[in-house]
Amino acid sequence: MTSIRFTSLAESLPSTVPFVAPEMTERNQGITFQARLGANENNFGPSPMVQDAIQRAGLETWKYPDPSSFELRQALSEHLGIARESFVVGGGIDGLLGNLCRLFVGAGDVVVTSAGAYPTFNYHVSGFGGELELVPYKDDYEDLDALSVRARAMNAKLVYLANPDNPMGSMHKPDKIKDFIDSIPLSTLVVLDEAYIEFADQGDTSIVDPNLDRNVIRFRTFSKAYGLAGARVGYAIAHPELITSFDKVRDHFGVSKISQIAALAALKDQVYLNETLVKVSQVKVQLSEIARENGLVPLPSATNFVTMDCGRDGAYARKLLDALLEQRIFVRMPFVDPENRCIRVSVGLPNEIDAFARALPKALKSIAD
Ligand SMILES: *Cc1c(COP(=O)(O)O)cnc(C)c1O
């Protein structure tokens, strides 16, 4: 043998990243962003109670974390009124999606999702040799009927749906989701990514008993509304049998002690969460006004970002993004046509929103033809 031997699957995959991080852009361009409005983080940060808890947890960080995240699962169980056995905690939704794909996706297995939906999921599917079947959006919504038809036609192992949706911010009402789930055969697992559920009108507590929907798994996170993206804590809710199967493949010590304690404190401070949600809605109104003042059309949003229709094609939106970058404003845009006629602007702090409001008209002017 003359050299190390990758699997043929690994050989066939490109070494890409799903997202270029703002830090990488800063390093490459030699700049510091004045507004970080591209990653749908909670720029208000976590609750002061969380910050205290993290400080105290620091002293205990010599201990391995509880691999079962028992206390956090118990608290989630009480918060949502669902048995503790229905929860698994992992390294963000991203990490858990990888575990899920390892459990369900082998070479040639079909997975259905929307073209331009969350790319990290696709990355995991490809990483286990799965075949992605992509369904177009319809009127800036993930197309439930088309997803269902394709999942059935292809006998898909998984069908993925983010609700509320990233990058468009749209949301299907719970009764639509229920009909969608009912239309999917029991041999296909419905993967519901609810990263933004806390921002939606009905909040995170309207949930169906996982014992009733054996072929559904929901993913939620502390990264967005709770302001803990850097801590990497997410969880899945599903039937206990499916949840137990995660033990076969998950990284048992993958959620740090500090992160577990931070998430627990965040969940306990619902007052702070509600204050955050009020602030987020206010800033979304502001962002929508800024869009309109500049001739862009803000789309309705059930999330912590506002997707703005620039009224032209993807190349134009890309130019706008670059012109904003020039002014040290970090925002992102959808990946595929026709959604890529938009830019996506996350809620941020007042000074960041002001910076965006100043930069947008200049950026638009600089690309006008
Ligand atoms: C932000 C986001 C995630 C990432 O969640 P983590 O818990 O931080 O991994 C997952 N899905 C969607 C749709 C997101 O927008």
- Tell me the pLDDT of the chain (369 aa) as tens digits: 689 999 999 999 998 877 889 999 999 999 999 999 999 999 999 999 999 999 999 999 999 999 999 999 999 999 999 999 999 999 999 999 999 999 999 999 999 999 999 999 999 999 999 999 999 999 999 999 999 999 999 999 999 999 999 999 999 999 999 999 999 999 999 999 999 999 998 776 667 777 778 899 999 999 999 999 999 999 999 999 999 999 999 999 999 999 999 999 999 999 999 999 999 999 999 999 999 999 999 999 999 999 999 999 999 999 999 999 999 999 999 999 999 999 999 999 999 999 999 999 999 999 998
Calculate the alpha carbon distances from 210 to 82, 106, 235, 363 in Å: 8, 25, 14, 48
In this structure, what token pair is assigned to residue 348? 């941020």
The C-alpha atoms of residue 369 and residue 367 are separated, in whole angstroms, by: 6
Q: Which atom of ligand 1 is nearest to the CA of 95?
A: 9
Interval between CA 95 and ligand 1 midpoint (Å): 10
Instruction: Report if pTM > 0.85.
Output: yes
Does an H or E element contain 48, and which?
helix 48-58
Indicate which residue's Cα is closest to atom 14 of ligand 1.
195
By DSSP bridging, strand 110-114 and strand 216-221 are: unpaired
Q: Ligand 1 center to residue 366 CA distance, Å? A: 33
Each residue's pLDDT tens digit, 320-334 = 999 999 999 999 999
Q: What is the dihedral of CA 106, 112, 115, 121, to 10 degrees?
A: -50
**Torsional class of 208: left (φ above 0), alpha (ψ -120 to 50), beta (otherwise):** beta
- Three-class secondary structure assignment of 256-280: CHHHHHHHHHHHHCHHHHHHHHHHH
- Going from the Cα of 221 to the center of ligand 1, the distance in angstroms, rounded, reads 7
DSSP-derived 3-state class of residue 88: strand
The confidence score (pLDDT) of residue 206 equals: 66
Out of 120, 171, 232, mutate this one to test ligand 1's pocket (max ligand atoms within 8 Å of CB): namely 120
Ligand 1, closest atom to CA 229?
A: 8
Quick check: helix, strand or coil at residue 220? strand
Distance 59 CA to ligand 1 centre (A): 29
Which pLDDT does position 324 carry in this prediction? 97
Q: Evaluate: CB of 94 within 6 angstroms of ligand 1.
A: yes
Q: How far is the CA of 323 from the centre of ligand 1 (A)?
A: 27
Check pocket membership of 166 for ligand 1, CB cut-off 6 A.
yes
State residue 204 phi and psi, 5-degree precision.
-95, 0
